[in-house]
Structure 1
Amino acid sequence: MHSTSSMPQASGIRPWWQAAPLTLVFVLFFLVPLALVLMVSFWDFNEYELLPAFTLKNYLAVFEGCGNASDLCVTLRTYLSTLKFCLLVWGITLVLGFAVAYFLAFHVRSAGMQTLLFVLCTIPFWTSNVIRMISWVPLLGRNGLVNQTLAGMRLIDAPVEWLLFSDFSVVLAFVHLYTMFMIVPIFNSMMRIDSSLLEAANDAGASGWQTLWSVIVPLSRTGIVIGSIFVVTIVMGDFVTIGVMGGQQIASVGKIIQVQTSYLQFPLAAANAVILLAVVLMVIWGLTRLVDIRKEL
């Protein structure tokens, strides 16, 4: 009797032991660093050291001048610039990612060919992001291949300046780097769609566009939301791409944080990071209102 009564207790403890390693990793490498950043954001500092003391001056410095209704402060202008890139990249990667995923899921019949094409899509990830960004410079520069080709075709009289170190080059690099983050979850959602639903829509007389809009898009919304979360969160915090492709001339929230850390202004950088995290979490919360990801998965 004693041995049988102890078995339910053992079975009840076992899941906790199984979850303990992952929980420990989550706490050590996510919650603890996040708590440290939050703590440091309330510290004071000078040119030489951090001063552990509770103060709100870092947050006040971030929003300095934002009370003027006639002119946007530096923080709001920077966030608007970052959100502009975020929306542009999200829209372009969504269209491209959906189109590629749709082609792979519904127009490539062979599973082997699907795998081959999917692997081809991942080839750019075999190299560093910096290398992939720098590869655009010989193409888009004043004396780059694009300008030389346009000049050779007599389409331009002078080099096109906005191809490199501009908003265009930043968006282009973002799309190049992060479209795959949109393709993968959308493709995964499309592969789960029952083919009988498409046949039923066809039998009901629905056109291709009607089937796409009324059947495929709603059933792919989980992948769309997950891909959107990936792209939005990465672009919001990116500073390397904007720095390299923008010629260090375009401001972003991530770039501001990077500059502040380089000047050892860690509490101020931490305050900016906390605010950025809050904005990103609000965006993610808004996206997850569109679909219950846990239920769909």
Structure 2
Amino acid sequence: MKLKSLQQYLLITPQVLVLLLFLILPIITIFVISFWDFNGYTMTPSFTLVNYKDIFSPTYFATYLNNFKFTALVWLFTLVIGFPVAYFLAFYVKSLRWQIILFLICTIPFLTSNIIRMISWIPFLGREGILNKALMSLNLIDAPLDIFLFSNFSVVLAMVHLYVLFMIVPIFNSMVRIEPSLISAARDAGASGFQVLKEVIVPLSAPGIAIGSIFIVTLVMGEFITVRLMSGGQTSSVGYLMSNQIRSLQYPLAAANAVILLVITLAIVVGILRVVDIRKEL
């Protein structure tokens, strides 16, 4: 019995070591450095709360609000796009072969670099871009609009484009597990199409929506490259802020922001897990 128990511990030892070395230890290091002092030139090991006090200044507070705004908007739009796409693939495409083919078509754009996909929006959204020219040719506008590029609009659009697949996949995975007999029984009981969607499909798809939401929240909360490129430096996020702090060698302040961002993200994820049980999807 002891030998079997020892073998079980030996089997999980590599995973535990990897987890400690590449996850737990870096988080602990960041947490410790967040309390160090920085005098503008060097950082000194100490215990100070100045870095955390600076985060609650109006400037930083506005940046965090901006982060929440991006996260909420990207989550909403990816859900609005992802749910109908997953619904169509799961219930309107009857052939497994065509489901696979159409699903692969959805994934093809995501095989390219994120940077390339972001940059591809610039000639489309610019003042002389395709969108402005199309609107002018339709006489909807008299002059090119600047709101499409290097703005919050372009940041959210690029993020939705980058991350919508992370919402489609788990929702589709939940929907294909729904027994057709449940939908047939609901229809036989006199339920309308909307009632079937509301009372059967949405509740049974909730774990997939929750998993997709976790993906979107964790990805967008730490985003900084998209914000930097698509906003043209005219807006900010916490990730972009930390990137600038690291470049200016303000490691303790960047570490404090990382700790706060991690705590907020974990709180959101825990809130999602408290609302929806995703164990059946794992």
Which bin holds the TM-score, normalised by the shorter protein? Answer: over 0.9
Instruction: Find the counterpart in structure 1 of residue 266 from structure 2.
Output: 281
Residue 30 of structure 1 aligns with which residue? 23
| Structure 1 equivalent of residue 222 of structure 2 | 237
Instruction: Report deviation, 1:281.
Output: 0.9
Structure 2, unpaired ranges of 5+: none
2:85 aligned residue (87, 97, 100)? 100
Amino acid at match of 1:61: D
Residue 199 (structure 1) aligned to one of 155, 176, 184 = 184
Give CA deviations for 1:220-279 in whole Å, capped at 9, x if unaligned: 111101100100111111011111111111021111111100100000000011011111
Q: What residue number does 1:5 align with?
A: none
Structure 2 residue 100 is the aligned partner of structure 1 residue 133: no
Quote the residue 1:4 is aligned against. Answer: none
The whole-number CA distance in structure 2 between the counterparts of 1:22 and 1:100 is 37
Q: Distance in 1 between matches of 2:86 and 2:7?
A: 40
Q: Which has the larger radius of gyration?
A: 1
Residue of structure 2 equivalent to 1:51: 44
- Structure 1: distance between partners of 2:142 and 2:264: 45
Give the C-alpha shift of residue 13 in structure 1: 2.5
* Deviation larger for 281-290 or 12-21: 12-21
| Partner residue in 1 for 2:11 | 18
Q: CA deviation digits over 1:196-235, x for unaligned, max 9? A: 1111111111111111110111111111011001001111
Residue number in structure 1 paired with 2:96: 111
Aligned counterpart for 1:176 among listed residues 161, 181, 194 = 161
Letter in 2 for 1:104: L
Deviations 1:114-141 (A, max 9, x none): 1111111111221111110000000000
Q: 152-161 or 140-149: which moved more?
A: 152-161
Deviation per CA, 1:157-207, whole angstroms, max 9, x where unpaired?
210110111111111111100000001111111111111111111111111
5+ unaligned residues in a row in structure 1: which ranges?
Answer: 1-7, 65-72
Partner of 2:209: 224
Q: Give the counterpart of 1:292 among 264, 277, 280.
A: 277
Letter in 2 for 1:127: T
Deviation string, structure 1 residues 88-121 (Cα, Å, up to 9, x no partner): 1111111111111111111111111111111111
Instruction: Report the CA distance shift for 1:163/1:251 in structure 2 as closer, same or farther (over 3 A).
Output: same
More moved, 169-178 vs 40-49: 40-49
2:197 equivalent to 1:212: yes
The CA deviation at 1:46 is 2.9
Q: Is 1:120 aligned to 2:102, yes or no?
A: no
Q: Call closer, same or farther: CA 1:34–1:216 in 2, change over 3 Å.
A: same
Q: Does 1:153 align with 2:146?
A: no
Quote the Cα distance in structure 1 between the aligned partners of 2:245 and 2:266.
Answer: 22
**What's the TM-score once normalised by structure 2's chain length?**
0.96
**CA distance in structure 1 between the aligned counterparts of 2:9 and 2:173, rounded to whole angstroms:** 30
Cα RMSD of the aligned pairs, angstroms, is 1.3
- Matching residue of 1:42: 35
Task: Kindly indicate whether the alpha-carbon contact (under 8 Å) linking 2:126 and 2:132 is maintained by their aligned counterparts in 1.
Answer: yes
